[in-house]
């Protein structure tokens, strides 16, 4: 099965250049190696901050474009992994290894296969 | 004949259902198929006689019935494929099959941490205990509709989110087993507490929990913790009659009439505890059961070996460094040593803050103050505790203590 690991963070998460950032990046490199060694095919990327977001809606055939995310929240999606696992337990175990899980949270969602 | 069928159903339903879910990978289909197989049994057994292996016959027949159901609903291709897989693995034989015991896989699936605790409890009682949704709802004082919805959602999540039907590998076993045992103990306590209120519950949750832990003990005979939980529950259950007085007010361990403890249950508990100790491994339930055993071993409360209990709580703190364990340890120190020593531990600012809203914290403090002769402070603590509980029986217990304090105060004054 395929699962998406959706990483949510708040302002307690280290930023580039801040203390803790280099260690975190090293942990992410380690995490990728571990996923590969467990034989899970995966992809994943970090996202730029919600202040870089643009939101689009189409209403009555008209496209409305606004600056910013859909809603103001204390937590935002900061990255994702898409991984293949045998079952939920493997996905949960991978989620627990995501380095940012120490700061925010990781939501595990099965892909709705069409 | 109906009686034979009913007794087979009672004894083997859990095993038959667990096996079918293992084969069919679908809780609802398995439950429907068992119903179909029961109907078939009711009409064929009286004519052809009871099969040699009734449980195996039910599994085989239910599997056939499941295939019929899938076939008739095989409109979409996915179901068709599953139907094909089932036919291949289906061993006809003599109409029955040696039944693989899948109950352990079933209980680990029902108690998966990705499900809500409520759903874990309900699924466990329904699938392994054979209770109806209505019975579970009534036992836990929740609406049947709400519970049914939660069960539907939990079953869907097991299927769609890919919760595996398996016993966890050794690395995950300790945590997952702890979750299973927590569900069983929760069921036990729900039964234990509800029975002291107006007794409307016709399902004995304590007995259900004892049966469930027995299943886990049988299927994981090398694990100490299930046996230790079985011991602990038997010790607790032995006090069922003695835990309230004639007016239904809870009694403390100290006040209980020990002759009313059920000696047979104590003996069973001791047997389980001994077997758990034989594994040479320890864990939180083993330590808690050992603490219970010290109490049970004292013929009178003033003969309790409190020093051993303090030692056991010290060990338990390594596993569960919680405020409640620290509070209970403080009580043991009091009993082993002096109320003053215990009060210093209980009035620790960190503990006081963490347990601020917990009525038993104030009850414990009040008791220590009372034993130290600080009666006014004791009364104040009892009054705070009274405001923190909604349980009528506990309120009556506190009222009684307040009355006794007032009388004692009057005598001194």
d(CA B108, CA B114): 11
pLDDT tens digit sequence for B330-369: 889 888 877 778 888 888 888 888 888 888 899 989 988 8
Give the dihedral of Cα atoms B158, B163, B167, B173; nearest 10 deg.
-120
B183: which residues sit within 8 A by CB, 6+ positions away? Answer: B110, B111, B117, B120, B121, B124
- The pLDDT assigned to B88 comes to 40
Cβ of B162 under 8 Å from any chain A Cβ?
Answer: yes
Query: Helix B339-346 vs helix B359-371: angle between axes, to the nearest 10 degrees?
Result: 150
DSSP A99: G
- Could you read off the pLDDT tens digit of each residue along chain A, which spans 114 residues? 999 999 999 888 888 888 889 999 999 999 999 999 999 999 999 998 888 889 899 999 999 998 887 666 788 899 999 999 999 999 999 999 999 999 999 999 999 988
Check residue A59 and give left, alpha or beta (phi > 0: left; psi -120 to 50: alpha). beta
CA pair distance B279, B13, nearest whole angstrom: 31
- pLDDT the model gives residue B77: 56
Is B413 an 8 Å CB contact of chain A? no
Q: If you ran DSSP here, which 8-state letter would residue A86 be given?
A: S
Contact predicate A92/A101, CB 8 Å: no
Please indicate if any CB of chain A lies within 8 Å of the CB of B164.
yes
Contacting residues of B for A85, CB less than 8 Å apart? 162
Tell me, yes or no, if B141 comes closer than 8 A to chain A by beta carbon: no
Reported CATH class of domain A2-110: alpha beta
| 3-state class (DSSP) for residue A7 | strand
Chain A touched by B173 (CB under 8 Å):
no
pTM over 0.80: yes
Classify A7 in phi/psi space as left (phi over 0), alpha (psi -120 to 50) or beta: beta
Cα–Cα distance, A37 to A24 (Å, whole number): 20
Question: Residue written as tokens 């380690």?
Answer: A30
Q: Verify whether the Cβ–Cβ distance B172 to A110 is below 8 Å.
A: no
What pLDDT is recorded for position B319?
Answer: 94
What is the C-alpha separation between A60 and B250, in angstroms, rounded? 67
B160 and chain A in contact, CB less than 8 A: yes
- B162 to chain A: which residues are within 8 Å by CB? 1, 3, 85-88, 91, 110
Residue A67: strand pairing partners = A54
Q: How far apart are the first and last CA of chain B?
A: 75
Domain boundaries, chain A: 2-110
Total beta-carbon pairs less than 8 A apart between chain A and chain B: 23
Q: Which chain B residues touch A3 with a CB distance below 8 Å?
A: 162
* Closest CA relative to residue B215, chosen from B9, B6, B13: B13
Q: What is the pLDDT at residue B198?
A: 47
- State how far the alpha carbon of B101 is from the alpha carbons of B13, B64, B169, B241, B378, in Å: 12, 19, 17, 36, 55
Contact A91 B172 (CB under 8 A): no
Which residue does chain A place closest to B78, by CA atoms?
A114
| Best A89, A92, A111, A112 residue to mutate vs chain B (most B CBs within 10 Å) | A89
> Under an 8 A CB cutoff, do B164 and A110 touch?
no
Is the Cβ pair A87, B163 closer than 8 Å? yes
In terms of Cα–Cα distance, which of B103, B119, B120, B239 is closest to B178?
B120
* Cβ-Cβ contacts under 8 Å, A89 against chain B: 163-164, 168, 172
Q: Is B168 on the interface with A (CB under 8 A)?
A: yes
- Pairing of the two strands A2-9 and A105-110: antiparallel
Contact yes or no for B365/B381 (Cβ under 8 A): yes
Tokens of B189: 């306590």
> Do residue B162 and residue A92 have CB atoms under 8 angstroms apart?
no
Best of A88, A93, A110, A114 to mutate (most B CBs within 10 Å, chain B): A88
B175 in contact with chain A, both atoms CB, cutoff 8 A:
no
- Tell me the per-residue pLDDT of B12-41, one tens digit each, with 9 for 90 and over: 888 899 999 988 888 889 999 999 999 999
Task: State which residues of chain B have pLDDT below 70.
Answer: 1, 74-99, 194-203, 411-413
């Amino acid at each position: 099965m395929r699962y998406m690991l959706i990483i949510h963070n708040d302002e307690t998460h280290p930023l580039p250049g801040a203390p803790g950032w280099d260690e975190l990046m090293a942990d992410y490199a380690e995490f990728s190696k571990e996923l590969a060694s467990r034989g899970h095919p995966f992809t994943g990327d970090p996202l730029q901050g919600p202040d870089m977001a643009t939101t689009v809606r189409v209403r009555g055939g008209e496209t409305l474009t606004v600056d910013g995310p859909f809603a103001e929240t204390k937590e935002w999606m900061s990255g994702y992994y898409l991984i293949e696992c045998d079952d939920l337990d493997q996905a949960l175990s991978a989620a627990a290894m995501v380095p940012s899980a120490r700061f925010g949270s990781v939501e595990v969602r099965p892909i709705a296969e069409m | 004949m109906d009686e034979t069928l009913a007794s087979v159903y009672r004894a083997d339903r859990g095993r038959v259902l667990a096996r079918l879910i293992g084969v069919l990978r679908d809780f609802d289909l398995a439950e429907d198929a068992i119903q179909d197989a029961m109907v078939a049994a009711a009409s064929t057994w009286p004519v052809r006689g009871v099969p040699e292996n009734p449980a195996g016959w039910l599994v085989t027949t239910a599997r056939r019935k499941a295939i019929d159901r899938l076939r008739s609903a095989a409109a979409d291709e996915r179901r068709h494929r599953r139907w094909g897989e089932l036919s291949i693995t289906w061993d006809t034989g003599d109409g029955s099959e040696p039944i693989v015991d899948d109950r352990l896989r079933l209980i680990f699936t029902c108690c998966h941490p990705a499900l809500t605790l409520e759903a874990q409890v309900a699924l466990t009682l329904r699938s392994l205990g054979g209770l109806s949704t209505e019975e579970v709802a009534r036992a836990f004082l929740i609406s049947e509709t709400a519970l049914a919805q939660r069960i539907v959602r939990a079953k869907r999540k097991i299927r769609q989110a890919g919760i595996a039907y398996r016993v966890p590998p050794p690395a995950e076993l300790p945590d997952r087993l702890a979750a299973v045992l927590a569900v069983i103990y929760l069921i036990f306590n729900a039964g234990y507490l509800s029975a002291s209120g107006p007794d409307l519950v016709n399902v004995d949750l304590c007995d259900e929990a004892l049966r469930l832990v027995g299943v886990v003990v049988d299927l994981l005979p090398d694990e100490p913790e299930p046996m230790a939980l079985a011991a602990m529950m038997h010790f607790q259950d032995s006090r069922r009659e003695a835990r309230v007085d004639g007016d239904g007010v809870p009694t403390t361990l100290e006040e209980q009439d020990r002759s009313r403890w059920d000696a047979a249950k104590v003996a069973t508990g001791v047997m389980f505890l001994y077997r758990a100790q034989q594994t040479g491994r320890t864990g939180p339930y083993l330590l808690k059961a050992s603490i219970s055993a010290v109490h049970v071993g004292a013929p009178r409360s003033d003969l309790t070996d409190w020093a051993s209990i303090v030692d056991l709580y010290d060990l338990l703190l390594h596993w569960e460094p919680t405020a409640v364990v620290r509070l209970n340890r403080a009580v043991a120190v009091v009993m082993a040593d002096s109320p003053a020593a215990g009060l210093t531990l209980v009035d620790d600012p960190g503990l006081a803050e963490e347990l601020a809203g917990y009525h038993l914290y104030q009850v414990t403090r009040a008791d220590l103050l009372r034993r130290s002769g600080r009666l006014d402070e004791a009364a104040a603590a009892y009054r705070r505790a009274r405001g923190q509980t909604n349980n009528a029986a506990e309120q009556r217990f506190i009222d009684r203590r307040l009355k006794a304090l007032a009388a004692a105060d009057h005598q001194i004054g």
